[in-house]
Amino acid sequence: MVTPTNVTADNPFVYGEIVSAAAFADREEERERLGRDLASGQKVFLISPRRYGKSSLVRDVMRGLARQKILTVEVTVAASSSYLGFLESYARALVAADTPAGRLKRWTSELLGAIHPELRFAADQSGGTKFSIGFPSVRSVRDTARVAAEVFALPARIAEARKQRLAIALDEFQAITSFDGGTVENALRAAVQDQRQVGYVFSGSEPSLMERMLGPRRPFYKAGPVMRLDKINPDDFAVFIDERFKASGVRPEAGLGEAIVDLAANVPYDVQRLAHETWDDVREAGKKAAGLDDLHVTLTRLLGEQHTVFEESWQRLTLPQRAVLRAAVIEEGRELMSADVRARHRLPGTSTIQAALAALLRQDIITKDGGRYVTVDSLYREWVARKTY
C-alpha cells in the first residue's frame, strides 16, 4: 500500500503525462524487479494494456538507474514512420546520451563512421540546439540492413568505450513489426543477445501483438523475462486516492476513493483523471471536503465536455458495431454470444457479432480483459450507457 509523500495545495493527481514516483499508486514490486533486471543486463519484455502507467513506470525506473551511474536511453518505436526513421532516431538517442554538445560530432564519427552518418544541428523552440542523425546514402534494402547492423551493435560499443553499463527502453515495441517484415526482429535479436553490459526493456501496449512476438518460431522467443502489468489492487488504489485527497487539504468523505476506482474501472489513467478533475472542481467551489455528490457533478461535466467527441465516434460505427458496443457496456462484456443477451439487446447473428467485436478491437474502442470485452475509455463507457439506446 502506498501513502502520499507531500502535503501540497497543488493537485495531487496526475494524468496524461509521464508521472513522478510520488504520483504512483503501488507498483513497488514491478519497479524493483525491472530496475534489478535492467541493471544486470537482462532483456525484459513489459506487456501492458494502454492507460496502465507503463511508460511512467519505465521512466521512473530509468531515473533510478541513472542515479546509479547507468547510462539510460529511451526511444518510442511507434514515433517513427519508417524503418530508416527509427534507425536514425535510435542512433541519435544512443550517441546523444549524456554526451556534451561539443563532442557529438567526434563521438558520432568514432562510433558510426563506417556508415557515413550526416549530422544535423538546428535551433529548437527553447533557443537551444537540436541534434539529429541521418543516413542519406541509404538507397536500398541492403543499405538499410547494413545501417541497422551498425546501429543495433552501437550499445555494446558505447558500453565498452565508456566502461559503463547501459539500460535501453524501446517503448511501443510492437510497432517494430511494421518495419520490413520480420527482418528487423531477427537483426535486433542477433545484436542484443550477446550484449552483457546492456539491459533492455521492450515495452508494448498492444498485448496480443506483443504476445505473438514472443511466441515459438519468432526471434524473441525465450529471449528474456516477461513482465505483464496488471491492474492495481482496487482496495489499495482506493486508499491511495483518499490519502492523497487528505494530504492536499481536501477531506474525502467515506467511500470516495472506492467510488472513483470503481467508476474508472480501476484503469490507472482513468482513476487519476477522475480524481484529478474531482479535486479541481472541489477546490474551485471552495470546499474543504469531497464526496460522492461532487464526484458525480464532475462526471457530468466531463461527459458534457466530451459529448461531441464521443458522438462523432459513435456515428462512425456501423449499426451492428453500435449494438454490440452498447451490449458490451450494459452486460459488462460478458456472454455476448448467448441467446439471452442477443435477444435482450436485439443483436445480430454470432458471426456478425464476432466481426463487430473484431472491428471495435482494431479501433481501440474495446479491449479484452480476461474473458470480458471492456471499453478502453471509462468516460466513453458511461456516455454509451447514458446517451445511447
- pLDDT interval class at 7 (50, 70, 90): very low
- Give the strand pairing for 226-228 and 43-47: parallel
Write the DSSP symbol of residue 137: T
Q: Which stretches of the chain are DSSP H helices?
A: 28-39, 54-67, 83-96, 104-112, 141-162, 183-192, 207-213, 234-247, 256-263, 268-284, 292-305, 307-316, 319-330, 339-344, 350-362, 378-387
- Give the strand pairing for 198-204 and 166-171: parallel
Residue 26 is predicted with a pLDDT of 64
Q: Classify burial at 194, counting beta carbons within 10 Å of its beta carbon; exposed 0-12, middle 13-18, buried 19 or more.
A: exposed
pLDDT tens-place string over residues 180-201: 766 899 999 999 999 999 999 9
Average pLDDT, the chain: 90
CB neighbour list of residue 318: distance below 8 Å, 6 or more residues apart:
356, 359
Write the DSSP symbol of residue 252: E
Residue 1 is predicted with a pLDDT of 39
Strand partners, 118: 134
Strand partners, 167: 72, 199
What is the model's pTM? Answer: 0.81
> Using CA atoms, how far apart are residues 57 and 74, in angstroms rounded to an integer?
13
CB neighbour list of residue 85: distance below 8 Å, 6 or more residues apart:
none
Q: Is the pLDDT of residue 10 over 50?
A: yes
Complete domains list, the chain, with CATH = 27-228 (3.40.50.300), 234-305 (1.10.8.60), 307-387 (1.10.10)
- pLDDT interval class at 68 (50, 70, 90): very high
> Using CA atoms, how far apart are residues 54 and 268, in angstroms rounded to an integer?
10
Q: Is the pLDDT of residue 368 over 90?
A: no
Residue 2 is predicted with a pLDDT of 44
Residue 24 is predicted with a pLDDT of 58
Q: Which three cell numbers stand for residue 261?
A: 476506482
- pLDDT interval class at 22 (50, 70, 90): low
Q: Is the pLDDT of residue 3 over 50?
A: no
Residue 192 is predicted with a pLDDT of 94
Helices (H) and strands (E) in the chain, counts: 16, 11
Using DSSP, state whether 113 is helix, strand or coil.
helix
Q: Is the pLDDT of residue 100 over 70?
A: yes
Could you give the C-alpha distances from 200 to 34, 61, 355, in angstroms and in order?
10, 12, 37
- pLDDT interval class at 380 (50, 70, 90): very high
- pLDDT interval class at 306 (50, 70, 90): very high
pLDDT tens-place string over residues 112-160: 888 888 888 876 777 667 888 999 889 999 999 999 999 999 999 999 9
Residue 5 is predicted with a pLDDT of 39
